[in-house]
Amino acid sequence: SDSNNLNLLAKIIYGEARGEPYNGMVAVGAVVLNRVSNPNFPSTVAGVIYQSGAFDAVSDGQINLDPSKQAFNAARDALNGWDPSGRSNLLF
């Protein structure tokens, strides 16, 4: 559902990029969404995020931290189409 995707995106953004500028946080969300639309990656937000080795925050457990309001805002911006990543499918 949309709320599950928002929550999961906020968690991965917080785990991966909480120390980054806001654009970097949105870019992490955009990378996830770009991968969802790429046939070489899983077709769901959860599938992309939990793909083995894809994100350090999953491997080291930081995905389980409570995301900040800023992480939720960045997730919303990414879901609404903002992509500061340059349409990247790669991690930076």
State the virtual CA torsion across 4, 8, 11, 15 in degrees, nearest 10: 180
- pLDDT tens digits, the chain, 92 residues: what are they? 789 999 999 999 999 999 999 999 999 999 999 999 999 999 999 999 999 999 999 999 999 999 999 999 999 999 999 999 876 655 43
Global pTM reads: 0.91
**Per-residue pLDDT at 88:** 60
